[in-house]
Structure 1
């Protein structure tokens, strides 16, 4: 018996030599994911050791915003076609994304004032509320603001895209139209409202949700209501965590873009998402 005959054969898929042949150009992975581009986007402006974590955390959140906006637009499109199953799939995926977004606070959640001050001056008047993709999420939740849209006029492409979300019905508006087409008593004046204004609670919508919640426990519309409540709670938790990160890192100092900082964030955090879904619980 020869040595070659007695040598054990390599397990399928373990041919390292074939796997490590040089690529002609970028690897297929990099061509698809563009990791080499992503990994060049972190450019700290100071020697502060915490700035890199701040940059990466912020950029990761921007990516999660992008996914969440994608899923909420998809849910809106499905609801407009009365395709509840597809809408629910998009909302479930977005719920996972918002959970991941919330977890993204971890690298910077415990910054001390001294650590934050080590690089704060480097970003000048930059502030998270200037994020266009975050503003898409707020507009999709029904928190419309002409002023926040106007902030982006200097970037024509960003302003145009954000303007489309601003002028279109929010995710919740589409939900209410869907409920109406299912025979629920959503008031007509709510359906015909100016969708460029912030959504506020309506007693008639509370009554419509009460009818849903008074029905069978596994009714598809009740499942939709609970999924939306999950998302609303996760958004509220993200806002609260933002407040806590700022409170811990800079206390009551003014924000970098001239806002009141912590006080401004606290007011924003107090705004309910999908308000009638919370109010209906006290009527059951």
Structure 2
């Protein structure tokens, strides 16, 4: 006896191929060709026979792609601010915030790696470490966390070394923002404007005074006020990423040394004390 509710002619649970869909890519560029998927999807090469090493590799490779995009966007933001193009700068800075949120979420996936399973392939990593990430180092330099000694890690690759050196010595995002404050008539100390950009940024009273004036008259300085809040968005998202990184490492290896030779978790914790835009946090106390 057939079911009265079943109609054999009913194909609602099936999607037919439409006639217009292109299927011949012998002489045409496909999706995989455009994205170079053959190279990307063959780049996962575990060095052990452990199941979870694929997770470890994939998470870090995907993170490097997001870091590359964030660096691309921040480079554009720096140029936009230098040119006074607030509209595009706001757009790409907002995008960077979402990239950091995406990177933070990736630690949630990696935290499914248990300590016991990680130890099964950790020795295969040798001295390789996320500390050696070129994309991460470029990002920190673009945001203003300058440290020339960190270039030493990249001496073995001259092209990367030279590019990072160039970013180290160039104005960071915040340096360009401070120059913009001066261009808009704020009384910024010349020592800040003419500083050695390869050195870590130090808080300055004239910069703080400029932000206090902007925040106290936000309507008059709305573009600068909005720019400041977008910078806070970036630091907020980046610090959450830093914290989740540290906490995930602690969850998996405890207080063991890092594979790259650092002290591990305690070294990562120190990064949480570094601010890219210190006066933007201090200004809240003065309102």
Report if TM-score (shorter chain) is over 0.5. yes
Does residue 172 of structure 2 align to residue 170 of structure 1? yes
| Distance in 1 of aligned mates of 2:22 and 2:88 | 41
* Pairing 1:79-90 to 2, within 5 Å after superposition: 79-90=81-92
Gaps of 5+ in 1: 1-12
| Distance in 2 of aligned mates of 1:48 and 1:159 | 33
Residue number among 226, 229, 232 corresponding to 2:229 in the alignment? 226
Deviates most, 84-93 or 32-41: 84-93
Partner in structure 1 of residue 3 of structure 2: none
2:169/2:196 contact within 8 Å kept: no
Residue number among 104, 109, 115 corresponding to 1:113 in the alignment? 115
Quickly say closer, same or farther: Cα 1:147–1:198, change in 2 above 3 A: same
Report the TM-score, using the length of structure 2 for normalisation. 0.90
| Distance in 2 of aligned mates of 1:117 and 1:202 | 46
Does residue 135 of structure 2 align to residue 133 of structure 1? yes
Q: Residues 136-195 of structure 1, C-alpha deviation per residue, up to 9 Å, x if partnerless?
A: 011011111111112212111111111111110111101110111111222211111110
1:110/1:249 contact within 8 Å kept: no
Partner in structure 2 of residue 263 of structure 1: 266
Gaps of 5+ in 2: 1-14
Q: Residues 218-240 of structure 1, C-alpha deviation per residue, up to 9 Å, x if partnerless?
A: 81111111000000011111110
Partner in structure 1 of residue 199 of structure 2: 197
Partner in structure 1 of residue 72 of structure 2: 70
1:109/1:245 contact within 8 Å kept: yes
| 1:277 CA drift (Å) | 0.7
| 1:111 CA drift (Å) | 2.8
- Measured on the aligned residues, the alpha-carbon RMSD in Å equals 1.8
Report the TM-score, using the length of structure 1 for normalisation. 0.91
Q: State the secondary structure of the residue aligned to 2:101.
A: helix
| Distance in 2 of aligned mates of 1:64 and 1:280 | 31
Q: State the secondary structure of the residue aligned to 2:121.
A: helix
What is the number of equivalent residue pairs in this alignment? Answer: 272
